[in-house]
Structure 1
Amino acid sequence: MKIFHGTIEIAGQMGILSSALKKKGYYSIGYNTFHSYLGYEDCLVNTDQPGIEEKFEEIIDTFDLFHFHYGSSLFTDLSDLPELKKRKKKMVMHHWGNDVRFHEQARIHNPYVYTGDSPPNEEIHEKLMKITPYIKDAIVQDYEVYDYVKDYYEKVHVLPIAIDLNFFQPSYPSLEKKRPVLLHAPTNREFKGTIHVEEAIEKLKKDYDFDYVIVEKMNHEEAINLYKDADIIIDQFLCGSYGLFSVEGMALGKPVLAYIRPDLAAKFPSNLPIVNSNPDTLYDNVKFLLDHPELRQELGIKGRKYVENVHSHEVVVEKLLDIYCQLEV
């Protein structure tokens, strides 16, 4: 089986999944038209939209299964989907959040949510209505995204974010460290709730001695090297779920703070060790971790174990292959 991933690389997932599929003996590669300072390259053909369209016939002849991401396909108007369907190619659409986060719906269970990165509701609906006559299965990373697309597809599969643990050796917080490092890495300040992080940090500085590191617009590999020195990872507090940065933090053996919507908490494994924090509780929860170095270490150990069991690409790829087997032409 030859698997095409495209055309928008989100959080390195096309490359990570392709790498895991290759280790299982499949030919898989991602064609990426979205280029950022993060610099993802693994198992990717970094190209542009004209480059993909120019190779349309070659691509469609080469691959058996098309795993699309972020509401994209080979053509920006999705006009390739009828042809792929006609040629009996298996297809699945992987939605990641901002591409399908209906604004008013997102606020029903979440008073903090930021949806400024999402298109207008009408645009989201129109795109989904173009996709679903041809693609019957969708993949989402968690149940926060699930609700937005469940009424559009015949089946929606929940597949956790994948991470290659070979690149993440744990470095657990030290009990003896006198000046801990708090680290926040916003790819988008509004989405992550960075203003709430900085308010908490300024308040904490009055009573605690620590270093605060903010990582922005940095190559992914360079950023990981900074994460290794952190004692507390401060992720995102508006969305209602956790993302790749939380997974990477846990993989490195760090305690992680992020906001998990109360109505979704039971949907995650019961041993999820993230310190559930919203903008109203963030200060108190960071303060508690500063006061208890032993808890920082304990959560770091639990986080690493959690990622090994839930997010390792070796675990995730088995679930992905099961999804692929369920796809119909």
Structure 2
Amino acid sequence: MTKILYISPENIVGLLSTWKKAHESAGNTCRYVTMFHTILDFPEDICLNLPLITNQVWYLKIRRKLQTRWYRRDPDMERPGNPPWWTPANHLEAYYFRLRDRLWQGRIEKAIRDNRLEDFDIYHFEWGLDLYRDCRFAERLKKAGKHIVTHYHGIDLRNRGVLPKMDELSDLVLTNELDLLPRYPRMKYLFLPYDTEQFPAKKHVNTPLRILHMTMNRYFKGTERIIEVCKQLEKDFKVEFILLERVPHNQAMAIKAGCDINIDQISNTGGWGYGMNSVESLSMGICTCTNMLPEYEAFVPDHPFVHIDSENLYDQLAELIRNPEIIQKKGAEGKIWVRKTHGLNSVREQLYQYYREAGFIGV
């Protein structure tokens, strides 16, 4: 039996609880630690509730002002380099993280002792982040002979960059974002795991037909253009447009299950192709639309997505509305594809193959 621990700022798309289920179904032990509770209200395991970190809107606004005014950094700008490295912008930022580490230390060390967090075999540091910005916990684990994995999900690498110490300590580097592979040569790709069997296949199209768009960040999804087009479609056809923005997950899933078309993104700004939002809707048998760059089309040539783009979005969605049989067909294809590609067993076995290649576990 292997003991696996995930460490992450938050359980943002429920991924940590999914990994826990996947590892435990294979007879292993898995736990996860989060720094704060996500506003989407996913379940927690060990949540530290640390101060000075959250995804609440007020905090994000303050952080943006600090980065632009005091650290002279555009938070939407991708860092150069392959990989892009994170270093403090100036003495002020370096001092902030030293102060934060000191403030957090008591709570972190108590959690380590109380939950025996140094007794695991494999450690996954999500977003490439340790519990401390100076990476002292990961360094401690490495000296004790533990296996270190870092996993990047998008803007953590593009906009923040790789912490040099975490790069030095990592035995295995993973991503679920195709565009990151050339940016960090050590990286290996892993599809997002999901319990694809928890929803029945969709049987019919609603009247009126329901079009959904969900977003945590309008800029990254191209949300303003999506709203503009879908509002016009509501006027021209018998359809209902539903926008969900930073809504608790259980509430969002209940609404999503009653929709017919899910629009993921049209900009490829916060990552190429699709993410967990699409994996969920495909698992429900919902026709799912996103922008697919040629590189992504080549990577998943059997994908079930309806390709959309900003310029032709109205016509592309109108074509679906006029042909509900295509909506049903694409939804059925999506259910089959997501089971094969993102199912717990297949993704877990790919991860375990990476473990074997890195010498974490036996053949």
TM-score by length of 2: 0.78
| Runs of 4 or more consecutive aligned structure 1 residues displaced over 6 Å after TM superposition | none
The question of 1:225 aligning with 2:254 is answered yes
Indicate the SS of the match to 2:169: coil
Indicate the SS of the match to 1:202: helix
Residue pair 2:3, 2:122 contacting (<8 A) in 1 also:
yes
Q: Where does residue 93 of structure 2 map in the other structure?
A: none
Compared CA separation, residues 328 and 87, structure 1 to 2 (3 A): farther
Q: Which residue among 145, 165, 188 is the counterpart of 1:130?
A: 165
Q: Where does residue 177 of structure 2 map in the other structure?
A: 142
Q: Where does residue 132 of structure 2 map in the other structure?
A: 75
Moved more, 275-284 or 88-97: 275-284
The question of 1:6 aligning with 2:62 is answered no
Task: Tell me how far 1:328 sits from its aligned partner.
Answer: 4.4
The question of 1:307 aligning with 2:363 is answered no
Once residues 311 and 294 of structure 1 are traced to their aligned partners in structure 2, the CA distance between those partners, rounded to angstroms, is 25
Indicate the SS of the match to 1:88: coil
Gaps of 5+ in 2: 51-103
Aligned residues with identical type, % of pairs = 25
Task: Tell me how far 1:258 sits from its aligned partner.
Answer: 0.9
Task: Tell me how far 1:234 sits from its aligned partner.
Answer: 0.9
Task: Tell me how far 1:60 sits from its aligned partner.
Answer: 4.5
Indicate the SS of the match to 1:99: helix
Q: Where does residue 89 of structure 2 map in the other structure?
A: none
Residue pair 2:200, 2:284 contacting (<8 A) in 1 also:
yes
Once residues 178 and 169 of structure 1 are traced to their aligned partners in structure 2, the CA distance between those partners, rounded to angstroms, is 20
Q: Which residue among 11, 15, 29 is the counterpart of 1:27?
A: 29
Task: Tell me how far 1:159 sits from its aligned partner.
Answer: 0.9
Q: Where does residue 17 of structure 1 map in the other structure?
A: 19
Compared CA separation, residues 173 and 190, structure 1 to 2 (3 A): farther
Compared CA separation, residues 97 and 172, structure 1 to 2 (3 A): farther
Task: Tell me how far 1:194 sits from its aligned partner.
Answer: 0.7
Task: Tell me how far 1:34 sits from its aligned partner.
Answer: 3.5
Q: Which residue among 101, 108, 112 is the counterpart of 1:56?
A: 112
Compared CA separation, residues 63 and 273, structure 1 to 2 (3 A): same
Larger Rg: 2
Indicate the SS of the match to 2:136: coil
The question of 1:316 aligning with 2:347 is answered yes
Q: Where does residue 109 of structure 1 map in the other structure?
A: none
Moved more, 51-60 or 203-212: 51-60
Q: Where does residue 48 of structure 2 map in the other structure?
A: 47
The question of 1:201 aligning with 2:258 is answered no
Amino acid at match of 2:46: V
Residue pair 1:183, 1:234 contacting (<8 A) in 2 also:
yes
User: Over aligned residue pairs, what C-alpha RMSD do you find?
Assistant: 1.8
Once residues 55 and 207 of structure 1 are traced to their aligned partners in structure 2, the CA distance between those partners, rounded to angstroms, is 57
Gaps of 5+ in 1: 102-117
Once residues 68 and 6 of structure 1 are traced to their aligned partners in structure 2, the CA distance between those partners, rounded to angstroms, is 5
Q: Which has the higher contact order (CA 8 A, sep 6+)?
A: 1
Once residues 150 and 283 of structure 2 are traced to their aligned partners in structure 1, the CA distance between those partners, rounded to angstroms, is 27
Once residues 189 and 172 of structure 1 are traced to their aligned partners in structure 2, the CA distance between those partners, rounded to angstroms, is 31
Amino acid at match of 2:109: E
Task: Tell me how far 1:292 sits from its aligned partner.
Answer: 0.7
- Please give the residue correspondences for 1:152-163 in structure 2 after superposition, counting only pairs within 5 Å: 153=186, 156-163=187-194
Once residues 119 and 137 of structure 2 are traced to their aligned partners in structure 1, the CA distance between those partners, rounded to angstroms, is 15
Once residues 345 and 288 of structure 2 are traced to their aligned partners in structure 1, the CA distance between those partners, rounded to angstroms, is 23
Amino acid at match of 1:212: F
Residue pair 1:173, 1:254 contacting (<8 A) in 2 also:
no
Task: Tell me how far 1:16 sits from its aligned partner.
Answer: 0.3
Residue pair 1:181, 1:210 contacting (<8 A) in 2 also:
yes
Amino acid at match of 2:33: Y
Once residues 197 and 325 of structure 1 are traced to their aligned partners in structure 2, the CA distance between those partners, rounded to angstroms, is 44
Compared CA separation, residues 34 and 193, structure 1 to 2 (3 A): farther
Q: Where does residue 302 of structure 2 map in the other structure?
A: 271
Compared CA separation, residues 80 and 328, structure 1 to 2 (3 A): farther
Task: Tell me how far 1:132 sits from its aligned partner.
Answer: 1.3
- Please give the residue correspondences for 1:74-223 in structure 2 after superposition, counting only pairs within 5 Å: 74-101=131-158, 118-119=159-160, 124-125=161-162, 127=163, 129-150=164-185, 153=186, 156-174=187-205, 177-223=206-252
